[in-house]
């Protein structure tokens, strides 16, 4: 049975979230682990 892990990187605009997630993704794959880098689409958020 496969084990799955979820890593969430949160922060304000410009704090380096994309850079951090790309680094984590590369490191996991370099270590032979399957990884997906999924980013939330902020354009779908409504401002109230």
Q: For residue range 24-48, what is the model confidence (pLDDT) as tens digits?
A: 999 999 999 999 999 887 665 556 5
Contact 37, 28 (CB under 8 A): no
pLDDT recorded at residue 25: 97
* pLDDT > 80? residue 8: yes
Q: What is the pLDDT of residue 1?
A: 65
């Amino acid at each position: 049975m496969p084990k799955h892990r979820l890593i969430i990187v949160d922060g304000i605009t410009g704090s380096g979230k994309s850079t951090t997630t790309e680094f984590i993704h590369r490191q996991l794959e370099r270590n032979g682990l399957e990884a997906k880098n999924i980013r939330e689409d902020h354009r779908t958020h409504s401002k109230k």
